[in-house]
Homo-oligomer: A and B are copies of this chain.
């Protein structure tokens, strides 16, 4: 954030103890220098919503401008042969290496999260013919639930809903009780979009496999926030977005992971020329590309893939373990402040570090009003109905002083 004068003024209004803690933690933060790489943001005091839309890097400005001059203006259609055709899988492999814990050849960048959820859920269900049940949970993000409702209606399938603790998330025991020989697919979020609860991905994946079903993990709040090891954990399918902790910009394309062992078995339904074995053969019959490429349908959104490359490079340099360590320190600090300084506010997220994602949900009946007022004042968290203030703390772009000043303004607004 650039408005250092305002932050400095606000910092002076904090209790000395809180101010000193924030300053000390920033001084000790090995990742602190990364903050200077983000584009300045006039008038902003604290950005507490990096899990909804990551801030742009200064480098992204030049990357977009030079893309116009170079690959687009100068090379034009020739750029398809010179990199664009491979961009979905090349960028997918980078994502796999940097944030997913996955080997190359299993990840593609394409479409939106919703469209990829549709394609992959359909594909998974078709790969388990005769099984008529989809298992999902009521706390999952709306688009995940809506996609499944559409598929269930069109295919005459049943959705078996798990209703987890809303302040935590789905447990392996709940999944074990829900799956059976009738289950084709289990679709869950790895990190709950409200509570920030981290599901026990390895254990739940085993439970799903024991029932002979496939699991599709929504990684929207995980990718770039917590270390993942999709290959080692035996994940079948995963989908996630890139505009949160990967800073791809509003509506940047999503990613899908499909384990190598399933790529011959699982076929997605939106057959397009860019997922064909030879897109420029233009023959009479669709023949899917081998490997991960068959997940592509239409022309790859090349421009939308550019900004996330800058962030992926930073995350790779910093390393996911260090990113996670700072994330835990930031969310821990936010909870400390809520506990000590925000009267009537309840932490509605897991306290245990191993179950706590990159954001913290705070709860108070006045938060709908407070969030609207905070936005006007340059403090930007998210509001989630009915009365949640969600504090999303993107590790590379957020400082401890920012968390302290932002939440102190929330305290003022609570009155």
Contact = CB atoms under 8 A, between A and B. Distances in A.
Contacts of A252: 301, 303
Contacts of A272: 112, 114-115, 118, 143, 146-147
Given A114-B274, A118-B297, 15 more contacts: A39-B69, A44-B76, A49-B76, A52-B77, A61-B65, A64-B67, A76-B380, A111-B111, A146-B272, A147-B270, A150-B271, A150-B286, A251-B303, A303-B304, A303-B307
B143 A298 contact: yes
B112 A146 contact: no
A18 interface: no
Given A44-B74, A78-B380, A142-B282, A112 B150 contact: no
Nearest to A122: B154
B298 A113 contact: yes
A72 B143 CA distance: 23
A39 to B, nearest CB: 4
Interface string A362-377: 0000000000000100
Nearest to A273: B143
A270 B76 contact: no
User: Which 6 residue pairs are nearest across A and B when measured between Cβ atoms?
Assistant: A112-B298, A114-B298, A114-B272, A150-B271, A146-B286, A250-B302
Contacts of A47: 76
A294 to B, nearest CB: 11
B304 A149 contact: no
Given A78-B375, A150-B270, A276 B307 contact: no
A19 interface: no
Contacts of A147: 270-272
A112 B297 contact: yes
A254 interface: yes
A352 B269 CA distance: 40
Interface string A75-99: 0111110001000000000000000
17 contacts: A41-B74, A53-B77, A56-B72, A61-B69, A112-B272, A114-B272, A118-B272, A141-B273, A145-B286, A146-B272, A147-B271, A147-B272, A241-B299, A250-B300, A251-B299, A280-B385, A301-B304
Interface residues of A, number: 83
A114 B279 CA distance: 13
Contacts of A44: 74, 76
A44 B78 CA distance: 11
Interface in A121-178: 138, 141-143, 145-147, 149-150, 154
Nearest to A88: B251
Interface string A339-377: 000000000000000000000000000000000000100
Nearest to A385: B282
B250 A138 contact: no
A384 interface: yes
Contact of A146 (B40, B138, B251, B276): B276
Interface string A40-68: 11111001010011011000111011011
Contact of A250 (B41, B74, B84): B84
Nearest to A59: B68
Nearest to A250: B302
Contact of A380 (B77, B249, B269, B297): B77
A307 B142 CA distance: 30
A323 to B, nearest CB: 20
Contacts of A303: 64, 249-252, 303-304, 307
Most buried by B among A61, A112, A154, A243: A112
A415 interface: no
Contacts of A280: 385
A189 B224 CA distance: 42
A261 interface: no
Given A298-B254, A303-B307, A281 B65 contact: no
